[in-house]
Amino acid sequence: MPAELIDGKVVSEKVRAAAAAAVAKLPGKPCLAVVLVGEDPASALYVKSKGEKTEAAGMRSITHRLAATATQAEVEAQLTALNNDPEVDGILLQLPLPKGLDESRALACIDAAKDVDGLTEASAGRLLLGKPGLKPCTPTGCVIMAKHALGDDLTGRHVVVIGRSILVGKPAALLFLAENCTVTIAHSKTADLPALCRTADILVPAVGRPEMVRGDWVKPGAVVIDVGINRIPAPEKGEGKTRVVGDAHFEECRTVASHITPVPGGVGLMTVACLLRNTVLAACARRGWAVPKELEG
């Protein structure tokens, strides 16, 4: 029997609805500020979508646009100004930045209390130490999707995360560890990677290699949370056409797994939903508001 799809549209809508329900109970409106540098069409479209979804959830959305010629100092000054603005609860710097700008330096300027993307060193440190703080959106989405498939208690599950990036692999491993899972981080240097993957109850490919994980890498009945988003040639659609695939070979893996996320339509949709959730949590922490029960846990 083919694996059951973990529909990112359905799961992300639940997260967005919970955020909206929480906002409705608050004494004020949380505010998310996005900084967009340059004219990249994909980034501009993504920022527009974030703004629309933020407002749909009952929050305020502000977008600060800087020219592609903006200097490092100008970008950092904008972020510092938002840190100091008492009306702003969350700050998101849209990545990637134009060439010549230092993303790490810019991210380091964001106040950890407003770091709704969970990408600053302070946020990473809090995650590692198990302290309260804002968690990275995509890895958080992975955990939520795994719980959607298996239930809220993931205790004792063996999770194999393929990838050790600071954006997804490492934080995902820490978040699953916090759920009392046994976690293995695998990577390109891992000996007999297919055999290791076959031990996973939850397999999380996050390496950016199209269809790398084959069906015979998957333990029968495992859950596959595919983080990969890769564009590959699709000559069947016409000359120069492409299609999007994940890091797992979907058709092969779905014949073995119990649950699997599609690409597109899976983990990617969770990122904005978790961003909205983080904005509400940041507002509650900053303003001394009680966290509504919709966002507890």
Does the annotation count 247 as an active-site position? no
Ranges assigned E (strand) in 58-215 = 60-66, 90-93, 158-162, 182-186, 202-205
Rounded to an integer, what distance in angstroms lies between the CA atom of residue 93 and that of residue 115? 9
Rounded to an integer, what distance in angstroms lies between the CA atom of residue 78 and that of residue 276? 21
At which residue do the structure tokens 């922490």 appear?
285
Write down the catalytic residue from 53, 94, 201, 226. Answer: 94
Please name every residue paired with 260 in a beta bridge, in sequence order, or none if there are none. 5, 224
Q: Which two tokens stand for residue 252?
A: 């092969």
Does the annotation count 25 as an active-site position? no
Q: State yes or no: cis peptide before 210, omega within 30 of 0.
A: no
Q: Quick check: 47 and 272 in contact, CB under 8 A?
A: no
Q: Quick check: 118 and 59 in contact, CB under 8 A?
A: no
Write down the catalytic residue from 50, 53, 114, 170. Answer: 50
Q: Which two tokens stand for residue 186?
A: 């695998």
Write down the catalytic residue from 117, 201, 226, 247. Answer: 117
Rounded to an integer, what distance in angstroms lies between the CA atom of residue 41 and that of residue 249? 29
- Residues contacting 185, CB < 8 A, separation 6+: 161, 163, 164, 169, 170, 173
Does the annotation count 115 as an active-site position? no
- Rounded to 10 degrees, what is the CA torsion of 79, 93, 293, 226? -160
Q: What is the phi-psi region of residue 151: left when phi exceeds 0, alpha when psi lies from -120 to 50, beta otherwise?
A: left
- What type of residue sits at position 138? T
Which residues are annotated as catalytic?
50, 94, 117
